Structures are given as structure tokens and as C-alpha cells.
Amino acid sequence: MIPLPTTRVRRRRLAVAAAAAGLLATLLAAGPATATPDPGDAPIQGKVSSEQAAAARTLTNSGEIPGVDEVVHSDNIQHLVNIPKEALPGTNSDLAFQGKYAFSGNYDGFRIFDISNPRAPKTVAQVLCPGSQNDISVSGNLLFLSTDSSRSDNSCASTTQPATEKSSWEGIKVFDISDKRNPKYVASVETACGSHTHTLVPEGRNVYVYVSSYSPNTTFPDCQPPHDGISVIKVPRYAPQKAAIVNFPVLFPGEGPDGGGNPGSPTNPGVSKTTGCHDITVLPSKDLAAGACMGDGILFDIRDPERPKVIDQVQDNVNFAFWHSATFNQSANKVVFTDELGGGGAATCNAAVGPDRGADGIYDIVGKGSKRKLVFRSYYKIDRHQADTENCVAHNGSLIPVKGRDIMVQAWYQGGVSVWEFTNSSKPREIAYFERGPISTDQLVTGGSWSAYYYNGYIYSNDMAKGFDVLKLDDRRTDAAKRVRMHELNVQTQPDYFDRGWDD
């Protein structure tokens, strides 16, 4: 833990940035592995024009955007603490929670924090297990990691190996975390095209895992097109070594080698071709799931978790480039989808890109049963323009459980953390924010908040480069959420907060 830098509490002016010469569409990728953490997993750098660099320096010098690494926030948020990366120097990724613990994914493995005192988190364990992007979740005594980089084998000592080799491995790893100080690797399941993200559907003695992966190639033996579905893994809680794939439901049926998802460019210029899903959020209490699937958003029925069925499928071929993630509201009559324009490695929070691209899309769910439809209402994007040296786009967030209102907290990479309300689907608005200034004003260095989630009264953010942040939100609109306590939270396995009681 290090002392917090001096912060300024101020309402940022909307910066008028110079038009970007072009987006950097760099995707995060794991680098070469050795017995030590992968050196290639550090935040990547990208060139910007001399004009863009000069504009970034002008904006920071004028105070229109924060200075390099300067922390700013709205007056209703406190920055309590930052915990820098230590033994795992790779890119920080997703978060999960259980009891007094937070679990932090990292391209080099995962870290467990004791957050019983949120103002002073303590490291309990750091586990070296390289393999991007190490998307993480927990259920009972089991922890799950996604490996979406081609490895020499399924061990935590594996090295990178081309996906064209049949012996290469990607998929899900399972750890026993009954002893938080000494997690034990107990099982793995190889899945087609790896596991970019995964979603848990807990059910009694078993945990079902929906594995999202994409980008097949005819030269990859274990990742063949059309790859138009998801892998479903069944994991017995008390015998995780028996974990196995039980189904590969096709979500985008269609004729030909590409299936029935969005064809992408050139039919729909600038839109990703659908070759699988990026992320899925389930709402087990309603037997619903929402899939963010590259060029498509889908709503599906999971009453039979082994055989999910699509209810509705939507596209936005004007403003959405890459359907990235999904969040239900508490009443299950809305879904917020995110568009990860530029793959998370580009500067898209500027005047050149505008307010409707790289944004959230808010959809109402109308109708009943198998007749339900997703109906677009509006976009939401932070209006705090960032420098062209800052990667910024809509990313992972969670609901803040306030009865009768739809409020969520969300990560925007170097755009920071935004708390916003969408109770009125057509008029979303920001109510709080936290952010750092650019990592650099000379070049684009990827960083910023990957995930920002609300858990038991606090906001936790996993910054790709800077580490683990804890924030405290004090606002009359969200104060009621402080009374809601969860034992376990995997944001993509969305709880029904109403079932857990409200102290009104």
C-alpha cells in the first residue's frame, strides 16, 4: 500500500480535443512466457502523431484534463486506497468477491485480498499462472480462470505456443480456494478457441460454466469456423476433477461456413463479424441471460442451463463495433450492452468519435416469455473527453443496488470510473466519477480501470497498470445500497438483490 497522491475535487470542464488522426485498434495480448511472469504482459504502447501529443500536453497544461497520473473525482466520491501490482506485473483484469475477500485477475495469474477493512486491504495470496486474460470468478470453494492465449500445456508453468499446433491448450482452469492462503490447482477443461471470458450458473451440487470465445481460423485445429456458439462445462462441486464439456449450443444458426450472426464488414462496415460471444451475463433468478456477441446482442432463456435458447437477437450496424458485455437492471426489464470500440486499446473518448460510439446501449425488454424483445432506447457515454494518448471506451461495470432506481458503476479504462443512472432509459445521466490523468502525453500507453464493481458498500476498481483501487461513494441517491450485503459476487452471475432482503 502506498500513500495516495494529492487529489483535486472539481467538476471537469469538457475538453475540446483535436480530432484524432485515427483509432489505434490494438488488442490486448499475452507475450512470451517463461517460468517468471510474462514480460509481454505489461501495458502496451502505441504511437500517436506529434499533433496529438502536442494537443494532449496542451490539455493537461491548461487544466482541461488532469495532469499525468493526477487523480480527480467528483465531490461525492472518496479515493480510499491504491494497492500497486507486486509479484504479478501483468495486466490487471476482472474482479470477483466472496465474504471478506476480493479476487483480482491478472494476465500472470491472480491475487487474493482481504478487504475486511476496505481502507487497508491486505494481500492474502498471489498465484503465478500466466495465460491471458485470466478472467476470474468464484463459487463456494472453487475459483475459475479463463485462458485465452495458446499455451504449451494446461499447467501454470506453460509457455506460449502457436494455435496452429494441435498440442496447444486454451480453456478453463479450476482452483480449490478452501484455504485462501494456499489455492490449489485441481482441474482444467480445454475449450474450442480458448476462454476469453466465462460465466457461472451455480446450481446445487454443480456449477455450470458458459465459456465465451471467438475468432476461429481454419489453420487452428481446435478453433474451427463457424464457431457460432458457446461451450457449456459442468463442474461437480465436490469432484471438480470430473469437470467436462456437456454441450456446445449453437446461438447463431445459419447456412454456410459463417453461421447466422452478423456478417460484419464489408456488409456492415466497421462492425465485428460474429464468430462467438465475448461475454455473457446470467440472471439465474429470472432464468435469463444476455449475450454480448461481437456483432450481435442476444437475450436467451437458461431454464435448462445445459441447453440455453435464444429469445431475441439485435444488431446496431450504425454505432456498435463490438458488443462487449451486458448488465440487467434489477427488474429484468432492461439490459445495458457495451461497445468496446477499438478493442480497449484506442482513444475513443474524444470529440472526433462522438457520444454514440464506444458507448453503452440501453435496451428495454418488452413482452413476455418467448415473445420478449430487446428495444433500443438510448446511448450513454462519459462526457469527460480524454486525451488522444488515453485508451478509453465502455467496459465492465455492475449495478449499485438501490431499490426503485437503475444505477450502475462502470469502468472506462483511462476514462476512469463512472457512476450513472438509467432509471429513465431514454435519459441516462452521470452522478459521480473518479479518474486519473493520462499515463503519458507522448504516446498511447494502455491502462486504466478494467473493472469497477460495487460490493458491500464500496466500489472496487482493478486498474490495468496502477493496481487495485478502493472508492467510497456518498450520495443520497445511492446511500440505500450500503444496507445490502452479499456473501458472494460474480458480476456476470447477477444476483437478485430483492431476495436478500432490504432494510427500508
Exposure of 187 by Cβ count < 10 A (0-12 exposed, 13-18 middle, 19+ buried)?
buried
Q: Kindly state the cell numbers that stand for 150.
A: 495458446
Parallel, antiparallel, or unpaired: how do β-strands 396-399 and 449-455 relate?
Answer: parallel
Is the pLDDT assigned to residue 24 strictly greater than 50?
no
Distance CA 328, CA 281 (A): 8
At 369, is the secondary structure helix, strand, or coil? helix
Parallel, antiparallel, or unpaired: how do β-strands 323-328 and 458-463 relate?
Answer: unpaired
Domain ranges of the chain: 7-500
pLDDT single digits (tens) 205-262 = 999 999 999 999 999 999 999 999 999 999 999 999 999 999 999 999 987 667 789 9
pLDDT single digits (tens) 320-355 = 999 999 999 999 999 999 999 999 999 999 999 999
Architecture of domain 7-500: 7 Propeller (2.130)
Backbone angles phi, psi at 56, to 5 degrees: -65, -45
Average pLDDT rounded to a whole number, residues 363-367? 98
Distance CA 88, CA 83 (A): 12
Q: Which long-range contacts (CB under 8 A, 24 or more apart) does 31-39 make?
A: 31/160, 32/159, 32/160, 33/130, 33/151, 33/158, 33/159, 33/160, 34/159, 35/157, 36/128, 37/87, 37/88, 37/89, 37/90, 37/108, 37/109, 37/128, 37/130, 38/90, 38/107, 38/108, 38/130, 38/160
Backbone angles phi, psi at 52, to 5 degrees: -65, -40
Is the pLDDT assigned to residue 480 strictly greater than 70?
yes
Is the pLDDT assigned to residue 374 strictly greater than 80?
yes
At 62, is the secondary structure helix, strand, or coil? helix
Strand order of the sheet with strand 279-283? 279-283, 288-293, 296-301, 309-314
**pLDDT score, position 48:** 85
Residue 378 bridge partners (DSSP): 362
Distance CA 237, CA 309 (A): 25
- Alpha-helical runs (H) found in 49-158: 50-62
Least confident of 26-40, 80-94, 245-259, 287-301: 26-40
Query: For the chain, first and last CA: distance in Å?
Result: 36
**pLDDT score, position 500:** 52
**Ramachandran quadrant class, 385 (left: phi over 0; alpha: psi -120 to 50; beta: rest):** beta
Backbone angles phi, psi at 55, to 5 degrees: -65, -40
Question: Concatenated DSSP letters for 24-51?
Answer: --PPP------SS--GGGSPPEE---HH
Q: What band does 13 get if pLDDT is binned at 50, 70 and 90?
A: very low
- Cα–Cα distance list, 231 to 212, 280, 498 (Å): 7, 12, 31
**pLDDT score, position 492:** 98
**Helix and strand counts by DSSP (H, E) for the chain:** 1, 33
Is the pLDDT assigned to residue 502 strictly greater than 70?
no
DSSP state of 19: P
**pLDDT score, position 12:** 56
Average model confidence (pLDDT) across the chain: 91
Distance CA 87, CA 159 (A): 18
Average pLDDT rounded to a whole number, residues 381-400? 97
Q: What band does 6 get if pLDDT is binned at 50, 70 and 90?
A: very low
Which amino acid belongs to residue 316? Answer: D
Which amino acid belongs to residue 319? Answer: N
Other beta carbons within 10 Å of 197: 25
Cβ distance 158 to 150 under 8 Å?
no
Work out whether the CA dihedral 40, 22, 293, 368 comes out positive or negative. positive
Is the pLDDT assigned to residue 17 strictly greater than 90?
no
Is the pLDDT assigned to residue 263 strictly greater than 60?
yes
Cβ distance 248 to 228 under 8 Å?
no
Average pLDDT rounded to a whole number, residues 28-34? 27
Backbone angles phi, psi at 378, to 5 degrees: -170, 175
Q: Kindly state the cell numbers that stand for 380.
A: 450513454
Average pLDDT rounded to a whole number, residues 26-46? 39
pLDDT single digits (tens) 62-91 = 899 999 999 999 999 999 999 999 999 999
Nearest residue to 93 via CA among 150, 148, 158, 24? 148
Distance CA 200, CA 235 (A): 10
pLDDT single digits (tens) 405-430 = 999 999 999 999 999 999 999 999 99
Q: Which residue has the cell 477443461?
A: 189
Other beta carbons within 10 Å of 35: 8
Residue 368 neighbours by CB under 8 Å, 6+ apart: none
Q: What band does 499 get if pLDDT is binned at 50, 70 and 90?
A: confident
Percent of the chain's residues with pLDDT above 90: 86
> In the 3-class helix/strand/coil scheme, how is 256-306 assigned residue by residue?
CCCCCCCCCCCCCCCCCCCCCCCEEEEEHHHCEEEEEEECEEEEEECCCCC
Distance CA 169, CA 177 (A): 23
Residue 125 bridge partners (DSSP): 112
Average pLDDT rounded to a whole number, residues 100-107? 98
Distance CA 305, CA 293 (A): 18
At 344, is the secondary structure helix, strand, or coil? helix
Average pLDDT rounded to a whole number, residues 289-318? 98
Higher pLDDT, 9 or 196: 196
